[in-house]
Homo-oligomer: A and B are copies of this chain.
Amino acid sequence: MSNHTYKIIEITGSSPEGSDQAIRNAISKASESVHQLDWFEVVETRGHIVEGEVGHFQVTIKVGFRLD
């Protein structure tokens, strides 16, 4: 188990509902093309403002997955 190698990619998810949902959306999208996603780490939380309110949250995460 100890010699596994992991690749880490960086993606930005967005959601009008909240920052956690933006993370979930990013992971859901990434899992369409990459299997064995293992962990994530938040890099940055931003968002767009529309008419004085949060339009949507944008959370950039690093996602790690095992290379077989």
> Which residues of A are in contact with B by a Cβ distance under 8 Å?
1-16, 18-20, 23-31, 35, 37-42, 44-49, 52-57, 60, 62-64, 67
Q: Known interface pairs A41-B46, A49-B38, A49-B63. Does A55 touch B14 (Cβ–Cβ under 8 Å)? A: no
Q: Known interface pairs A15-B2, A38-B48. Does A27 touch B53 (Cβ–Cβ under 8 Å)? A: yes
- Pair A3/B8 contact, Cβ less than 8 Å: no
Specify which chain B residues have a CB less than 8 angstroms from the CB of A41 in the assembled complex. 44-47
Q: Known interface pairs A3-B15, A7-B11. Does A45 touch B42 (Cβ–Cβ under 8 Å)? A: yes
Specify which chain B residues have a CB less than 8 angstroms from the CB of A44 in the assembled complex. 41-42
A48 to B16, CA, bound (A): 23
